[in-house]
Amino acid sequence: MTGRSLWRHADFLRLWIAHSVSLLGSQVTVFAVPLMAILLLHASPVEVGAITACGYLPFLLIGLPVGALVDRWPLRRLLVAVDVGRALVLGCVPVAHLAGALSIGLLGAVMFVHGALTTFADTAHPSYLPALVDNDQLIEGNTKLQTSYSMAELAGPGLGGVLVKLVGAPFALLADAASFVASAAILVGIRRREPARTAAATDRIGPQIREGLSYVTRHATLRALVPVYALGELGLSPAVYGAALSVANLGALIGIASNARLVRRHGVGPAIIGASILPGSGVLLLTLATPHTAPVLIMLSLGVAGFGVVVFNVNQLSLRQHVTPLALQGRMNATVRFLIWGMIPAGAFAGGLLSQAIGVRAALVIAGAGSLLSSLPLVRSPLGRVRTMADACEPGV
């Protein structure tokens, strides 16, 4: 135990600031892209779902090879390159709009390339943290990074709503592009040398992917309908919708503030299991909204979901990082994201089809119920016996 606070860890602070800046910008994109599709391109629910799916499809298509590549490449340089690439890709949207070439297909293509680059970033970020801080600092580090994510979700929709109103949705994306440039510039300043990579550039990727899959599967401890619903069926304006999302994310901040106490009282595993039930409960609560009660219920339902997501994410990520060797961090993170995030494209497209066939409200009921059912394997797993990190040090625990 070092006892050293990360507030005095200069390189972690650079990583945290860079991550915070890019997260805030990304929330503008998350808010502006569905609005662009709905308000400018008059996209149907199916088309909105397809655009959303394009952003997540790379997690399914290239997620596993990305993990193997992340384990052999210098992570700081990779994160800088990915930030620059995402800035350039997003800059294509306002250019296309000015040229009169903006279309649903182009928007989907932009989101796909952006998603591919994000696949690298989202695998490299959690793999980089254990190489930058000590094991006993992982929960503190992940809590600070999750705080930034929650603060970005709190401020991002409101900022997105203002930017969309002032300059239009296509140009609002320039804020995200600028945030990636700023993030890259900050990351360049990290000085700590990374541990040497054990995988050579000539090593075959296939066996490395199988190694990552094997490690995760042996280790037992190891949002597109809402805009359509709020702006379409409930008739909220973009400004009101953005304000509701911002207030809703207070639930996530409460989760951050109370997580340490929850873990001390109930244990890491039980905290993860309990938190996994809340997102589905929040979605089901959202289906009770009417045009008059929509702002309040959106805030409440997403607040409940946000609390659960934060507590779940901080603890499960810290646990994964703690039990995984540095040489396997990239493949472990990529495998987990492939198994979970890889299902999002199908879910987003299916959600669009369902909402068009049976209505958005009914589709949300199915989504909420499915989320609740997905927590059952956790309830029945040995995770409930994991009180501290030390209880889950070996595969098969």
What's the CA gap between 265 and 309, in Å, rounded? 19
Amino acid at the residue 31? F
Amino acid at the residue 215? Y
Structure-token pair, residue 303: 């607040």
Asked if 309 contacts 379 with a C-beta cutoff of 8 angstroms, the reply is no
User: What was the pLDDT predicted at 395?
Assistant: 47
Three-class secondary structure of residue 275 per DSSP? helix
- pTM for the complete prediction? 0.74
Asked if 303 contacts 282 with a C-beta cutoff of 8 angstroms, the reply is yes
Q: Which domains does the chain have, with CATH numbers?
A: 10-193+202-392 (1.20.1250.20)
**CA separation (Å) from 208 to 64, 65, 89?**
9, 9, 30
What's the CA gap between 133 and 36, in Å, rounded? 40
Q: State the SS3 of 97-125.
A: HHCCCCCHHHHHHHHHHHHHHHHHHHHHH
Q: How many residues does the chain have?
A: 397
Nearest to residue 57, comparing CAs of 224, 205, 232, 280? 224
> Could you tell me the end-to-end alpha-carbon distance of the chain, in angstroms, rounded to an integer?
23
Structure-token pair, residue 193: 């040398």
Asked if 318 contacts 263 with a C-beta cutoff of 8 angstroms, the reply is no
What's the CA gap between 136 and 20, in Å, rounded? 22
Nearest to residue 173, comparing CAs of 159, 186, 152? 159
Alpha helices (runs of H) in 287-343, residue ranges in sequence order: 294-323, 329-340
What's the CA gap between 49 and 228, in Å, rounded? 10
What's the CA gap between 100 and 105, in Å, rounded? 13
User: What was the pLDDT predicted at 153?
Assistant: 76
Q: What is the dihedral of CA 38, 359, 226, 235, to 10 degrees?
A: 60
What's the CA gap between 146 and 4, in Å, rounded? 20
Nearest to residue 23, comparing CAs of 160, 137, 203, 164? 160
pLDDT tens, residue by residue, 134-193: 888 888 899 999 889 878 877 887 888 889 889 999 999 999 999 999 999 999 999 998
Per DSSP, 232 falls in state: I
What's the CA gap between 329 and 342, in Å, rounded? 18
Query: Digits of tens for pLDDT over the chain (397 positions)?
Result: 445 789 999 999 999 999 999 999 998 998 899 989 998 999 988 898 889 889 988 887 888 888 888 988 999 999 999 999 999 999 999 999 999 999 999 999 999 999 999 999 999 999 999 989 988 888 889 999 988 987 887 788 788 888 988 999 999 999 999 999 999 999 999 999 887 665 545 556 566 555 554 444 444 444 444 555 555 556 666 666 666 666 666 788 888 889 888 988 998 889 999 998 888 888 888 888 787 787 888 888 888 888 888 888 899 889 889 888 888 898 888 887 777 666 666 666 676 677 777 877 887 788 788 888 878 888 888 888 888 877 775 444 4
Question: Mean pLDDT in the chain?
Answer: 82
